[in-house]
Amino acid sequence: MERLKTVFLDRDGVLNRKMPEGHYVTRWEEFELLPGVVEAIRLLNNEKMRVVVVSNQRGVSLGLYTEDDVRSIHERLQQLIASGGARVDAFFFCPHNKNACDCRKPLPGLFHQAQAQFPEIDAATSVMFGDSKSDMEFGRGLGMVNIFVDGDPERQKPGVEAARELADIRATSLLDGINRLLVWKRGHGTHASSMCLGFPAP
């Protein structure tokens, strides 16, 4: 069986500290990288796995910031992680409001955008890391392995219990999830049914 090749990462709550519900990261000064993120991405780079960030950015449609503001944040993030010897291969984001497009997760548009840039991407050899129900529905709908990152309990979105149920793996952070994934990957290949690593109970 083919090995895992691509890791999709949600942004807010996985890479950086999530703002309180209803609030958004509008500029770099509000972006707080979470501990262990650079190391986690570097581990993926060392494993020759493609790293793709896919993020809903509804605040653009609400007029709170612009698409260029999002791109600027991603450029600064790339510079920051590069200083630690890591890199993200691509960023894709949905700037639309609810029910206005096919790219707002859990809809698959961001996956298809990534696939257009990297035609070799296959959901069957991909993993989705997220901290919300929409992230897990996105991954499950495409047939990816799902890894749920338990974030700050005070800033989790509604539906967190359902999100956990949709996950193949639960982790306390991106780095924890990557470490668990790599242990499993080296020993079992890519079939989600072989994931028996003693992950934290729901």
Nearest Cα residue to 187 out of 176, 195, 177, 175: 195
Whether 10 is catalytic is yes
Catalytic residue, chosen from 12, 131, 150, 168, is 12
Q: At 189, phi and psi to the nearest 5?
A: 90, -130
Question: DSSP secondary-structure letter at 128?
Answer: E
10: left (phi over 0), alpha (psi -120 to 50) or beta: beta
Active site residue 69: no
DSSP per residue, 89-125: SEEEEE-PPTTS-S-STTSSHHHHHHHHHSTT--GGG
Annotated catalytic residue within 10, 131, 135, 176: 10
Residues assigned a catalytic role: 10, 12
